[in-house]
Structure 1
Amino acid sequence: MINVLFAAHPDRWESYEAPLKEAIADAGVTAFLATDIPPADVDYIVYAPNSPLQDFTPYTRAKAVLNLWAGVEKIVGNRTLKIPLTRMVDSGLSQGMCEWVTGHTLRHHLGMDAHINCAPGVWNNVAPKLAWDRKVTLLGLGELGTACAQMLAQIGFDVTGWSRTAKDIGGIRCLSGDDGLKEALTGAEIVVLLLPDTPATENTLNAETLPLLARGACIINPGRGPLIDDDALLAALDAGQIGHATLDVFRIEPLPEAHPYWHHPRVTVTPHVAAETRAKYSALTIAENIRRGEAGEPLLHVVDRKTGY
C-alpha cells in the first residue's frame, strides 16, 4: 500500500476525500489517503500552494508533488522541493475555461452590453460583424489556451494564437517569439490572455504593446494578473485605445475595494471564477499520475522548473 498525503487548504478536504479515494481505487492502486501522514511515510503529495506545507525536506520517500491548481508560480521556486512537480490539467478545468472565455468573447463581439442597457425609445438595430470578420488573439497556447482557441475557431472567429515557443495547431494561425507577439497583437479586436505567470510574461500587455491592438479593442484576462501593466491598461482605457477590459485575475486577490478597476466604466471585474478545479474531474488526473508513478511510466504535466510551467 502507498501513502498519499492531501496537503491543500483544510477546507478542501471534505470535497476531495471521496472523489480522490474513488478515482485512485478505480485506477487500480491500493492507497491510504489522509491529511496527517508522517512525512517519512508519504509516497505522493496532493498539493495546493495555499497549503500550510511549505517545507518538503522531511518528505524523503515522496515520489512527486501533484498540484491541484493549473498555476504553479507559488510553488515552482520552492528550493526545498527536489522531486517532480505536476500541474493540474483536467477536462473540467478546460471545459470551464472554454465556456467562460467563449461567453465573454461573444458578449463583446455581439455588443450585448449596449443592447441589454438600451434606453427606452433608442432603437439602434445595427447588426454586429460576423465572427468570420472578428480578429481574436489568444496569448498562450497551453492546454487551456489551445482548447479556447479551437472552440472560438469552431464558432467562426478569425483566431490567431501566440506562444513563447512555436506551436502547430490545426485551424489556428500560430505565431511565436517577440516578432510573432507584435504580429499577433497588431489589429486584434479581442485579446484573451492565458499565459502562465513567469518573469518572461509579466506585463505582456503594456504601454508599448497596447497601441498595437485595433482602436476600441477588448481585453479578456482569465490567466494571471501580472500579465497586464495595470497603469498602462487604465491609461489606454481612458484614451479609448482599449474599449473594455474583462478581468478575472489580479495582482492582489480579492481585488482591493479602492482599486480603480472597480469603478472604471469600461472594466468588468469577475472574482476569479473563469476556471475552477472541480474535485470530480481533477481527482482523475491525480489518480492517473499516481498509477503512472507506481507503474514506472512518465508522469503527466510535469513542470519545467526553468520555464516555470
Structure 2
Amino acid sequence: MGLAIISPGKNMDAWISNFQSLDPSIPIQVYPDIQDPLSVEAALLWNHPPGILLEFPNLKLICSMGAGVDHILKDPQLPEHTPITRIVDEKLTWSMTNYVVMGVLNHHRQLVRYQQQQREKRWDMSSPEIEVSIGVLGVGALGNDIVDKLSYMGFKVSGFGKSPKIMSYPYYFGSQLDDFLQQINVLVCMLPLTAETEGYLNLELFKKCNPGTYLINVARGKHLNEQELLVALERGYISGALLDVFHVEPLPSNHPFWEEERIMMTPHIASVTNPNAAAPQILENFRRMKMSQPLINQINRIKGY
C-alpha cells in the first residue's frame, strides 16, 4: 500500500515529515517522481494534472489537501467510484472566520478611509462607523462559524443556502435570494464551487443588492465574474470589495484589480491548510479504507461538497 502526493509547484516537505512521524511504514511518492503507480492506493491532491489518477489502477481513496474539492471534481477523467475526502480543521475555520471578521470590521470602522486621511494629514471625525447588516452566502461549517462570531459581536447577520434549514439566525434559501439581499449591505461569499455556483457573483446579482453593498469573497475565484464586479463598482451597486481568491493565481500584473482603489486584495491566504492537523485525518482515512470502514469527511459527488 502507498500514498501518492500530487500538488504541482508546492513544497511537500512539511507534509512528508508529518506523515513519516505518524507512520513511517507508509511508502510515499511525490509527483512527478512516481516510480511505482501500481502500489498507489491513496492520492493526496491539490490542482493535480487532469487524468493522472487513471495511472493508478489500485487507487481506493482520493484526499483533498484542503477543505475544498472543486479542484478535484473538475477533472473529467476522475475515477468514477473512488471516494473523495476533504480536510475539516478547527484551525481552518478559526483562520477563515478571523479573516472575514477583519474584513467586516475594516469596512464598518472605515480603516481604508482613515489611512487615506492620514496620508493627507486630514482630521475628520464625522461618521466614524458605517452601519452594517451582513449576509453570508453558504452556511456550512465555515459559514456557520462566521455567522456565530459576528452575531456574538452584536452584528445583524443573515444566512443563505440551497435548501431549507432550521437556524438560530435569519435564514433564506432557494428562491428567497432577493429577499436575503434586501436585508444586507455586506455580502460574504462562502459557497462551495459547483457547476451551479460558478459565476454566482455577477452583475445580475449585484443589481439586486442594496446600493453600495460591500463584497467579501473568500470562497473561490470562479464564483466571481471579475469584469462584472468592475461594472458594479462603477454603477454603485457595490461600494467596494475584499477579495482573497481569483480566477488566475497569482493574479497577473496587468489585471485591472491592481489599480482599483475600491478593491482590497490578499493572495489566497484567508485560511491555509496546516499539515500538522491534516496529516492525521488523511492517515485515519487511509486506515479506514484498508479496514473497509466508513470514512471521515467524505464528500457527496452529486452535491459537489
Query: What's the TM-score once normalised by structure 2's chain length?
Result: 0.88
Cα 1:22–1:157 change in 2 (3 A) is farther
Q: Secondary structure at the match of 1:43?
A: strand
Asked whether the 8 Å contact 2:45–2:63 carries over to 1, the reply is yes
Q: 1:219, 1:105 → 2: CA distance? A: 10
Q: Which residue, out of 224, 230, 244, partners 2:220?
A: 224
Partner of 2:125: 124
Q: 1:16: Cα distance to partner? A: 0.7
How do 1:197-212 residues align onto structure 2 when only pairs under 5 Å count?
Answer: 197-212=193-208
Which stretches in structure 1 are left out of the alignment for 5+ residues? Answer: none
1:241 maps to which of 237, 240, 251: 237
Moved more, 5-14 or 267-276: 5-14
Q: Is the Cα–Cα contact under 8 Å of residues 62 and 84 in structure 2 kept in the other structure?
A: yes
**2:33 corresponds to 1:33:** no
Secondary structure of 1:253's aligned partner: coil
Secondary structure in structure 2 of the residue aligned to 1:116: helix
**Letter in structure 1 aligned against 2:98:** E
What is the rounded CA distance, in whole Å, between the counterparts of 1:272 and 1:77 in structure 2? 20
> CA–CA distance in 1 between the matches of 2:97 and 2:281?
19
Report deviation, 1:113.
1.6
Structure 2 counterparts to residues 253-264 of structure 1, below 5 A? 253-264=249-260
Query: Per the alignment, do residues 279 and 127 of structure 1 end up closer, same or farther by CA in structure 2, a change over 3 Å counting?
Result: same
Q: Deviations over 1:207-257 (max 9, x none)?
A: 222122222221001111221222322122112221111111111222222
User: Partner amino acid for 1:287?
Assistant: L
Aligned length: 298
SS in structure 2 at match of 1:255: coil
Q: What is the SS of the residue equivalent to 1:208?
A: helix
Give me the whole-angstrom Cα distance separating, in 1, the residues matched to 2:205 and 2:49. 39
Alignment partners' CA distance in 2, 1:10 and 1:213: 39
Match of 1:195? 191
CA separation of 1:31/1:168 partners in 2, compared to 1, >3 Å: closer, same or farther? farther
Name the residue aligned to 1:173: 170
Unaligned runs of 5+ in 2: none
**Structure 2 partner of 1:142:** 140
- Corresponding residue for residue 71 of structure 2: 74
Higher RCO, 1 vs 2 (CA within 8 Å, ≥6 residues apart): 1
Q: Distance in 1 between matches of 2:128 and 2:218?
A: 28
Change (3 A) 1:191 1:44: same
- What secondary structure, in the 3-state scheme, does the structure 2 residue paired with 1:204 have? coil
- The equivalent of 1:281 in structure 2 is 277
Aligned partner of residue 183 in structure 1, secondary structure: helix
The residue matched to 1:75 in structure 2 has which SS? helix
Partners in 1 of 2:169 and 2:23 — Cα distance? 36
Write the letter of the residue equivalent to 1:94. Answer: T
Does the CA-based 8 Å contact 1:3-1:37 persist in structure 2? Answer: no
**C-alpha displacement of 1:10:** 5.9
CA deviation profile, 1:36-64 (whole Å, cap 9, x unmatched): 46222222222222x45742224232221
User: 2:139, 2:281 → 1: CA distance?
Assistant: 20
CA distance in structure 2 between the aligned counterparts of 1:254 and 1:13, rounded to whole angstroms = 19
Return the letter of the residue paired with 2:246.
F
Amino acid at match of 2:26: A
Give per-residue Cα distances to partners, 1:82-127, cap 9 Å, x unaligned.
3111122222221221111111111111112222322424232434
Aligned residues of 1:5 and 1:37 also touching (Cα < 8 A)? no
- Tell me, in whole angstroms, the C-alpha distance in 2 between the residues paired with 1:45 and 1:15: 17
Task: From the superposition, tell whether residues 287 and 153 of structure 1 become closer, same or farther in structure 2 (CA, over 3 Å).
Answer: farther
With structure 1 as the length reference, what TM-score do the two structures score? 0.87
Identify the range of structure 1 (280-289 vs 3-12) with the bigger mean alpha-carbon deviation: 3-12
2:235 and 2:92 map into 1 onto residues whose CA distance is 36
**Distance in 2 of aligned mates of 1:34 and 1:55:** 14
Question: What corresponds to 1:13 in structure 2?
Answer: 12
1:158 equivalent in structure 2:
156
What amino acid sits opposite 1:5 in the alignment? A
**Aligned-pair Cα RMSD in Å:** 2.2
